Chains A and B, each alone.
Chain A
Amino acid sequence: MKDGTIHVHYLTRVEGHGNIHVEVENGALKAFRWEIPEAPRFFEAMVRGQSYADVAHITSRICGICSIGHTLCALQAVENALGVRPSEQTLLLRKLLLHGETVQSHILHAGYLAVPDFLGAPSVVPLVASHREAVLTIVRLHRLANEWCDLIGGRTTHPITPVVNGWTRLPTPEELEGLRARIEAGMADAWAIVELFRSLDIPDFQRPTEYIALKHPDEYAFYEGVIASTDGDTTPVPDYRQKVREFVVPYSTSKRARANRNSFAVGALARFNNNAEQLTPGAKKAAEALGLRPICTNPFMNTVAQVVEVVHALEDSVRIIDRLLARGIVPEENHVTVRAGRGVGAVEVPRGILFHEYTLDETGHVVDANLIIPTGQNHQNIEDDMAVLIPQILDRPEEEIRLRLEMLVRAYDPCISCSTHFLRLELRGGKTR
């Protein structure tokens, strides 16, 4: 491509609206942008004046894909503000529910949205002819994950059973045994997805960056930990603003963030790069089979890391269920004493580390809120990837450049607004003025 403008207006197969804009002149990159044209959501203002008990239900509506993550992060922040530490049973069930969402979301992205890129198909539909069994496997895993979230959370999305310091309904031991059996049966399907990804040609592109994720001494962190960076530093969650510094750019309605460098990445690859040694044995085997080794600096491998995490979430959930069954499911009091305070929650949701912070008054009503979502933290990293990737592929045809850039953005599994309005793709060619 010598001259012209590539403008991908409303990139498809991502959650929400985003545009890629590239201008080329005399064979050289002149300008590029990763734009977010979405209207701001104002959730931080919406929760002000609301009761501590309602915050999780309201913020769960930020996203239809990671509503469980938002719920748990909000509950954690509120509990920290109130000085409450939930029981081991509550924490185990929350971790089990979060694993369900991780499988749900990763399968949706890796299976339905990303695989077509690697197989050169415009969507999953044409793959039915060539990869029927693989698509059916994806459907089965998705069903398992949906029913899993339904059982523990009371609903497939926007869970209703998790509340501050406990649950409104606990699963029975029989239900947990049934779930355990289904998860064990689902392992074969997860391995079929690993095999599918082994056969795919993942673009080779490297750009070292900072990877940030939660880190926990005893487990591959999803639900709790400290903020860890592959640059070697750690930050306690309450001090998150010192580590993750937000900023804005004029052409995007989404905030961005940076830490040690110009940008950083969060998500499955960031978790893997920080915590790979803590994966379950099966997930370690999957990573090895897929050629994923820390520290991996290829953003296209984020989807591969998601597949590894699916294996991890299934295996770890069996361990959690065994622990729950060994303890016995016991009804617990979830009373809390309301007080004024500030609390921060941090949870690894499918797309990366999520922060919720609330300040409550003495009646338990929110006076201030701050939320930082994973995709916002990835925007600058995506643009910095483009800065390195575009010059490497500028000699290729326009269509190929466009597809590669779309794949790059999709690899981050961005959840741009979580409001899934319809998407269109538009390419405007022609000379740059």
Chain B
Amino acid sequence: MTGRRRGSVLILGLGNPWWRDDGVGPAAVALLGQRPLPPGVEVLDGGTGGLGLLERIAGREHLLVIDAADFGEAPGTVRRVSLEEARLCRSEAPLSFHQVGLAEVLDLAERLGIAPRNVYLFVVQPARLGPGQGLSAEVQAGLEQLLDFVCQTLEELLPVRAGVEGG
């Protein structure tokens, strides 16, 4: 409708830029938006998410989520994990500030039969969470590595067919 076809790959940055390191998802997608990406790859700032995300992830081939998460490592550490590995926390978990967590949205998509085929999570260990803008030096330092991880993953997912738009 918008003249753009819906991408087969969605890179979704989650978080609140007004909650310090929780803003790493939106910060990462803003940087990714400046990089040349293969056709069919859509980049979206999903904000604090919730059920509104359901329609955004529906029917995608691959979903790449970037978010802050507490996995007990040094601040700024970046990990790529599969959905199963992540064992996503439900909304009562301390790191999920939002009414409906990503886990629930994915669960709902799964039940409806509209879930992405592959889901990867790129998580960053935050140093500071709380009201205020700007990322900590540790998380800022991890951003480059995070973006490289994401781009590597895109190459793995769209190897030879890079340039072919999905939909």
- The residues of A with any CB-CB pair to B shorter than 8 Å are 12-13, 15, 64, 108, 112-113, 123-125, 128-129, 132, 135-136, 139-140, 142-143, 146-148, 150-151, 157, 172, 174-175, 178-179, 181-182, 420-424
Contacts of A108 in B (CB 8 A): 51-52
Cβ–Cβ contact A424 & B92, under 8 A: yes
- Decide: A420 near B2, CB < 8 A? Known: A125-B104, A128-B112, A143-B55: no
A108 to B52, CA, bound (A): 7
Contacts of B55 in A (CB 8 A): 139-140, 142-143, 146
Closest to B50 in A: A420
Cβ–Cβ contact B98 & A422, under 8 A: yes
Contacts of B162 in A (CB 8 A): none
Residue of B48, B51, B54, B108 ringed by the most chain A CB atoms within 10 A: B51
A123 to B112, CA, bound (A): 15
A143 to B55, CA, bound (A): 6
Cβ–Cβ contact A422 & B51, under 8 A: no
Cβ–Cβ contact A142 & B54, under 8 A: yes
Cβ–Cβ contact B48 & A420, under 8 A: yes
Q: Which of B2, B50, B52, B107 contacts A125 (CB 8 A)?
A: B107
Contacts of A129 in B (CB 8 A): 111
Cβ–Cβ contact B112 & A175, under 8 A: no
Cβ–Cβ contact B112 & A151, under 8 A: no
B99 within 8 A of A: yes
A179 to B91, CA, bound (A): 36
Contacts of A175 in B (CB 8 A): 1-3
Cβ–Cβ contact A64 & B48, under 8 A: yes
A128 to B3, CA, bound (A): 32
B89 smallest CB distance to A (angstroms) = 11
- Decide: A179 near B1, CB < 8 A? Known: A124-B108, A136-B114: yes
Cβ–Cβ contact A12 & B3, under 8 A: no
- Decide: A420 near B1, CB < 8 A? Known: A142-B54, A143-B58, A146-B55: no
Give 11 pairs: A residue, B residue, CB < 8 Å, sorted on A: A13-B99, A139-B54, A142-B54, A146-B56, A150-B2, A175-B3, A420-B98, A420-B99, A422-B91, A422-B92, A422-B98
Contacts of A113 in B (CB 8 A): 51
Cβ–Cβ contact A139 & B112, under 8 A: yes
Closest to A182 in B: B1
Instruction: Return the CB mask of B1-43 against A: 1 if under 8 Å, else 0.
Output: 1110000000000000000000000000000000000000000
Closest to A158 in B: B47
Contacts of B114 in A (CB 8 A): 136, 139
A121 smallest CB distance to B (angstroms) = 13
Cβ–Cβ contact B51 & A112, under 8 A: yes
Main secondary structure of the interface of B (DSSP, over half): loop
A422 to B104, CA, bound (A): 13
Contacts of A421 in B (CB 8 A): 97-98
Cβ–Cβ contact B112 & A136, under 8 A: yes
Q: Which of B2, B51, B104, B112 contacts A147 (CB 8 A)?
A: B2
Contacts of B51 in A (CB 8 A): 108, 112-113, 124
Cβ–Cβ contact A125 & B112, under 8 A: no
Q: Which of A125, A146, A174 contacts B111 (CB 8 A)?
A: A125
A262 smallest CB distance to B (angstroms) = 31
Contacts of A422 in B (CB 8 A): 91-92, 96-99
A423 to B97, CA, bound (A): 8
Cβ–Cβ contact B99 & A12, under 8 A: yes
Contacts of A420 in B (CB 8 A): 48, 50, 97-99
A160 smallest CB distance to B (angstroms) = 12
A420 to B51, CA, bound (A): 12
Contacts of B3 in A (CB 8 A): 172, 174-175, 178
- Decide: A128 near B108, CB < 8 A? Known: A108-B52, A146-B55: yes
A431 to B51, CA, bound (A): 38
Cβ–Cβ contact A178 & B108, under 8 A: no
A15 to B48, CA, bound (A): 12
B69 smallest CB distance to A (angstroms) = 15
Closest to B91 in A: A422
A179 to B3, CA, bound (A): 10
Contacts of A143 in B (CB 8 A): 55-56, 58
A150 to B4, CA, bound (A): 11
Cβ–Cβ contact B1 & A147, under 8 A: yes
Contacts of B2 in A (CB 8 A): 147, 150-151, 175, 178
B130 smallest CB distance to A (angstroms) = 12
A182 to B2, CA, bound (A): 10
B10 smallest CB distance to A (angstroms) = 13
B106 smallest CB distance to A (angstroms) = 11
Contacts of B108 in A (CB 8 A): 124-125, 128, 135
